[in-house]
Amino acid sequence: MTTGLPTQISPTVIPGSKAGRLIVLTGPSGVGKGTLMQLLLQRHPQLYLSISVTTRSPRPGEIHGKHYYFASREEFRQMVDRGELLEWAEFAGNCYGTPRQPVAEKIGEGKTAILEIELEGARQIRASFPEVLRIFILPPSMEELEQRLRSRGQDSEEAIARRLRRAQAEINAAGEFDYKVINDNREAALQEIEAILFPDSRQD
Ligand SMILES: Nc1nc2c(ncn2[C@@H]2O[C@H](COP(=O)(O)OP(=O)(O)O)[C@@H](O)[C@H]2O)c(=O)[nH]1
Ligand SMILES: Nc1ncnc2c1ncn2[C@@H]1O[C@H](COP(=O)(O)OP(=O)(O)O)[C@@H](O)[C@H]1O
């Protein structure tokens, strides 16, 4: 399990229908990706948000199969070996990956699938699925990012420090993305994302 090399998505498109879209949302930990995605899904329940597999321990309130599929390192390695993950990466000492099957299914049904993943995974997806639309969420400032990580109250000091170290490297790569959205005012950021996803009031 030394590489997260991408493999093809190969959606089976239902005859007579058009393939759906794949959207990747990336940004430093604590910038508000999860918050924005939950609000987006409330407003557009037809969107499909991929549920990742992770070796990280559940946070209080996190539910297996809803927020993540929680797996051991060994289980994760087996999924990688069997080619079940569309992409995967290590982040702050844990592995995270996108199960291939549900994403391929939703795209095959003509739906829009969204992956909320970190930078290395976003790069892998770009290599294997060039049509992907990639959005990077930026914080208003590094101070505000740190403040949000702390106020979330979910991570240890060490985990926060690791996330902040990684944050700067991720922000430096924001130029690789198709769109950049600053999450200062939540509602304004959400509206920007909606304008990207539904430019001509397309709702699928
Ligand atoms: N490559 C990849 N990254 C993921 C996946 N799922 C989550 N991530 C990213 O892993 C990082 C850490 O996630 P998490 O531990 O939930 O922390 P949080 O984002 O700070 O709430 C975030 O940048 C997520 O976007 C995945 O399936 N693949
Ligand atoms: N626009 C915003 N303004 C202020 N706080 C925000 C905003 N968006 C999210 N937050 C808060 O920041 C913290 C981190 O958000 P979260 O969605 O968990 O980030 P991520 O999923 O990117 O790690 C949470 O406490 C959330 O309520």
pLDDT digits (tens, 9 = 90+) for 109-155: 999 999 999 999 999 999 989 999 999 999 999 999 999 999 988 88
Region label for 32, one of left (φ > 0), alpha (ψ between -120 and 50) or beta (otherwise): left
Given this model, what pLDDT does residue 14 score? Answer: 58
Neighbouring C-alpha atoms within 13 Å toward the C-beta of 35: 16
pLDDT digits (tens, 9 = 90+) for 59-100: 999 999 999 999 999 999 999 999 999 999 999 899 999 999
Q: If you average pLDDT over residues 175-188, what whole number do you get? A: 98
Closest-CA residue, ligand 1 atom 26, reads: 97
pLDDT at 201: 64
- For ligand 1, residues with CB inside 6 Å are 29-30, 33-34, 52, 56, 87-89, 91, 96-98, 116-118, 120-121, 163
Among residues 32, 21, 19, 15, the alpha carbon closest in space to that of 116 is found at 32
The partner residues of 95 in beta bridges, in order of sequence, read 90
- Give nearest CA residue, ligand 1 atom 25: 117
Reported as a single tens digit per residue, the pLDDT across 100-110 is 999 999 999 99
Sign, CA torsion 26/31/35/36: negative
- C-alpha neighbours within 13 Å on the C-beta side of residue 188: 6
Q: What is the residue extent of each domain of the chain?
A: 21-197
What's the residue count for the chain? Answer: 204
Q: Which atom of ligand 1 is nearest to the CA of 4?
A: 1
The predicted complex's ipTM stands at 0.97
Percent of the residues in the chain that have a pLDDT greater than 90, as a whole number: 81
Looking up tokens 């996803």 gives 197
Contact 166, 158 (CB under 8 A): no
Nearest to 85 by CA among 112, 37, 117: 117
Output the pLDDT for position 13.
Answer: 57
User: Are 85 and 124 within 8 A, CB to CB?
Assistant: no
Over its C-alpha atoms, the chain yields an Rg (Å, rounded) of 16
41 alpha-carbon distance from chain centroid: 14
- 3-state DSSP assignment of residue 116: strand
Q: What's the CATH fold of domain 21-197?
A: Rossmann fold (3.40.50)
The dihedral over CA atoms of 76, 80, 85, 89, expressed in degrees to the nearest 10, equals 70
As annotated, the binding site for ATP includes 27-34
Report the distance separating Cα 83 and Cα 164, nearest Å: 31
pLDDT for the residue 152: 84
